Structure formats: C-alpha cells, structure tokens
Amino acid sequence: MKTLRYTPIPASFYQATRDTLASRLPDRSLVVVHANDVYPTNADGTMQHHQNADLHYLTGIDQEETILIMRVGANGQHEDTLLLRETNERIVIWEGARLTREEASELSGIRDVRWTSEYQMLVAEAASAAEYVYWERDVHPRRYTDVQTRNERMLAAFESNYAKMKIRSLYPILAEMRLSKGAPEITQLREACKITGEGFAAILPKIKPGMGEFEMEALLSGEYIRRSSRKFSFLPIIASGPDTCVLHYISNHKNCKDGDLILFDIGAEYGGYAGDMSRTIPANGRFSPRQKAVYEAVLAVHRYAASIMLPGVRKAGYERRVRARMAQELVKLGLLSPEQLQDKGGDLTCVRKYYMHSASHSLGLDVHDVCPEDPVFAVGQVWTIEPGIYIPEENLGVRIETDVLIHPSGVEDLIPGAPLEVADIERLMRAGA
C-alpha cells in the first residue's frame, strides 16, 4: 500500500476479527467504532494521530475520522460499512492525499466504503432496526485521563437521540479477543520487537559518561525510524543515577555521570504494534560490584518468571510466585531480613518497598494491551517479563524487560538481539572505546 511505511496485515485477518466479534454478539446488534481524535496542542498545532486500537484491530485503517459500522443479524451474519474522511483539493495540497475508497477496501476487506458525510443517515437507519448497540469505550482499569475521547463524545450524542436503546460496551469482548494474537499480529510484533532490540544494541557502543539522556533518546529515535518504525511505542524512559528509581521518568534531561547506571525502558512501534523493552547499563561500560549484584538478582528473577510462564497458569498466581522469588534475592542483597518474609497473608508486602510493580503485562496494539482481569496464560499470547529492584537510598535501580510469545512448552524471547548478560553488555559497550 503506497500510503504506508510498513507491510500491512492481510485484509483476511480483519475480516476474521469482525466475523468473530459478530459471532459473540446477540442478533440485531449495531456496532460503532470511531477513530481517535487528532488532539490539538496550541495555536494551529496538532499532535500526531494515534489510531484507536480497536478500530485498527477490526479494520487495519490508520487514518483520522474513520468509522466502522457493523450491523449484526441472525447467526453471526453481519454487514459492515467503513466511513472515510473524503479527500479534497485543499487536503491534498496541505496534508497529502488520504485513502481512496478502493485502498481502504483493499486494506480492510470491507466492500461498502463511503464518506463520513453519510454517518448520521447510516446510524439512524441501523439504530431503527437494532435491539442492542455496542460502542467502543475505553474502560481499561489503569486509564486515568479526564480527556473525553471521540468515541465517548459521539456516544453521548447518540444517547441523547436514542435514549431508549440498550447500549453496551465492546470492551470486555474485544479485550478477550485481543489477548490471543493471530499469526499476522505475531509477525508485526516480531518486527516491532526486532527493531526495539536492534536499535538499542546499535547505540550501546556510543554511550559514554557525560552524555545526555536526551542524546541517547535521539540516537534511538534515528535507529528506530531508519528501520521503518514511525515512532517510539510510548514515551521513552532513559533515566540515570537516582532517577533509575523513578518508574515512569520521561524528562530525559540530565547528563549521565561516571559510575551511574542508566535504565532504558523503550519500544519501537511497527504497523501499530508495540515493542517494549527495559535494560540497565553502566554509563562507563563496567558494572561496580554492587551494581552487578543487584543486576544479577533481577536477572535471576527474570529467568525464573520466564520458566513459570506456561499455558494454563493464572496471572495472579504467577505474580505471587515471582514476588516470592524476588523476596529471596532481596534477602541475599541485604535489603530484607528472613524475618520480614513471614507475611501472614502470603502477599509479601515487604517486597513492594523495592519491587512495587507487576512482573508482566499483555502486549499488542497497546503497550499495556487490553485483556480480561486475571487471565490464564495460553499459547499465542504475548507478554512482557519485567522484574526490577529499586533502592533509592543507594541511587540504584535495575529493571530488565523483554517480550515473549507463549508456546506449548514455554516462552520465546522476541528480543534476542538486545544483550541480557553483564559480560555481553560490557563487551558491547567496550566496542566503542
């Protein structure tokens, strides 16, 4: 497709996702999914468009003002209409051509492609024949923004006009569907992860004491973009010294010092899918004995977590076992005493002083991808594994994260190109000396 930087997923995948969705809905259901807004900055500026993940999952269309309308009949039969922003001469001059109806049909597998000017008419017709309306709503448990999305705004308008309609959320259905990745999705995720790891490995020999965290960000951005990534999959974390203990440090404004550790939590996006990786390295290319001890402790927990991420294991139980393994390492490091591990509730809350986040999250179109609460691991799912130890009193934080695909007998590391071992990190950094 001439308008895309990446190789798109075949349209047959999107047709299959819509078929699956329709099969899970009651007869006479209407589905409406809008693209995300293009959000303003100031004056006449706008942010880069980031597509609504559910719309991408159901259509493959990465363009603003796009709308999917599905009309579900008996036995999962459905008729789909895709609405696009119509290109005109002014848009072509100032922004470049948008998808034609033929191109959008080729990408999505939807034959009925129209312009957005028909939206109100089509929704009125579909609503008159529907018993249930399923709308895209972001109810992710960790969502905290107060900004109203386009889907929420359009739903409010719909509710005011059709007050008696039975309106339901698509979230639980699509969260379950998106947890298991299809083969085309795994292809995209492999590429996103490959770019993520290769880009990081490429800049390691260039890192020296005194370098700006922002300079490393610039180097990474270049490595990712030249490998066909459009952007970071999330705001990159490049934290040195005491800020290695700040979980979501994103200012990347300091110069690293000799003796500092530098914590990278980074990812490249490819075709809408996210890579997500953490590595912690010494600014001067050599771990101190204490830094190495903490790093090796985190790596031991990382390997343990990978060994128990097996099909049939429930996520909550997995997290408890990882915390218990982390507790052993914290005792070895002198951070906890054996007596502190006698937690009557079995949750080992004392561990959270030095390890306060979970070990894994689902990965896909979103970095923290949607999934049911407390899912069971299964073949075809993609997860992160990211234990960490954070010791503010020592200005020392270490996190090690990779992305894995679950197979019948274990997990596959999707980022093999980024070094994990202390010796490999030090050797690669020495290459630039």
| CATH, residue 212 | 3.90.230.10
The verdict on 324 and 223 lying in the same domain is: yes
The verdict on 331 and 261 lying in the same domain is: yes
| Dihedral (CA of 237, 242, 246, 251) sign | negative
Nearest-Å Rg of the Cα atoms of the chain is 24
Separation CA 212–CA 240 (nearest Å): 10
Separation CA 44–CA 24 (nearest Å): 43
In a domain, 46, yes or no: yes
Backbone angles phi, psi at 84, to 5 degrees: -120, 155
Q: Mean pLDDT of residues grouped by 10 in the chain (433 residues)?
A: 80 98 97 95 91 97 97 96 88 83 96 97 95 89 81 93 91 97 98 98 97 98 96 97 97 97 98 98 98 98 98 97 96 94 74 97 97 96 98 98 97 96 96 72
The structure tokens 């030090």 sit at 426
- 44's tokens: 């006449």
Contacts of 131 (CB under 8 A, 6+ apart): 26, 27, 28, 29, 166
The verdict on 152 and 201 lying in the same domain is: no
Separation CA 347–CA 385 (nearest Å): 20
Helix 422-430 and helix 289-308, axial crossing angle in degrees, nearest 10 = 120
The verdict on 317 and 232 lying in the same domain is: yes
159 near 135, Cβ under 8 Å?
no
Q: pTM value?
A: 0.95
The verdict on 208 and 173 lying in the same domain is: no
In a domain, 62, yes or no: yes
What's the domain range around 202?
183-430
Domain boundary residue among 140, 162, 178? 178
The verdict on 363 and 406 lying in the same domain is: yes
Separation CA 282–CA 354 (nearest Å): 20
238 near 217, Cβ under 8 Å?
yes
Domain boundary residue among 113, 146, 178? 178
The verdict on 69 and 90 lying in the same domain is: yes
As for how many domains the chain has, the answer is 2
CA distances 97 to 30, 94, 113, 193, 220, Å, are 31, 9, 17, 30, 30
Separation CA 68–CA 55 (nearest Å): 7
108 near 4, Cβ under 8 Å?
no
The verdict on 72 and 190 lying in the same domain is: no
Domain boundary residue among 131, 158, 178? 178
The verdict on 67 and 199 lying in the same domain is: no
Residue 402 has a pLDDT of 98
The verdict on 310 and 267 lying in the same domain is: yes
In a domain, 4, yes or no: no
In a domain, 422, yes or no: yes
Contacts of 104 (CB under 8 A, 6+ apart): 61, 63, 82, 84, 110, 113
SS (H, E, C) the chain: CCCCCCCCCCHHHHHHHHHHHHHCCCCCEEEEEECCCCCECCCCCECCCCCCHHHHHHHCCCCCCCEEEEEECHHHCEEEEEEECCCCHHHHHHCCCCCCHHHHHHHHCCCEEEEHHHHHHHHHHHHHHCCEEEECCCCCCCCCCCCCCHHHHHHHHHHHHCCCCEEEECHHHHHHHHHECCHHHHHHHHHHHHHHHHHHHHHHHHCCCCCEHHHHHHHHHHHHHHCCCCCECCCCEEEEHHHHHCCCCCCCCCECCCCCEEEEEECEEECCEECCEEEEEECCCCCCHHHHHHHHHHHHHHHHHHHHCCCCCEHHHHHHHHHHHHHHHHHHCCCCCHHHHCCCCCCCHHHHHCCCCCCCCECCCCCCCCCCCCCECCCCEEEEECCEEEEHHHCEEEECEEEEEEECCEEEECCCCCCCCHHHHHHHHHCCC
The verdict on 72 and 210 lying in the same domain is: no
Taking the alpha carbons at both ends of the chain, their separation in whole angstroms is 43
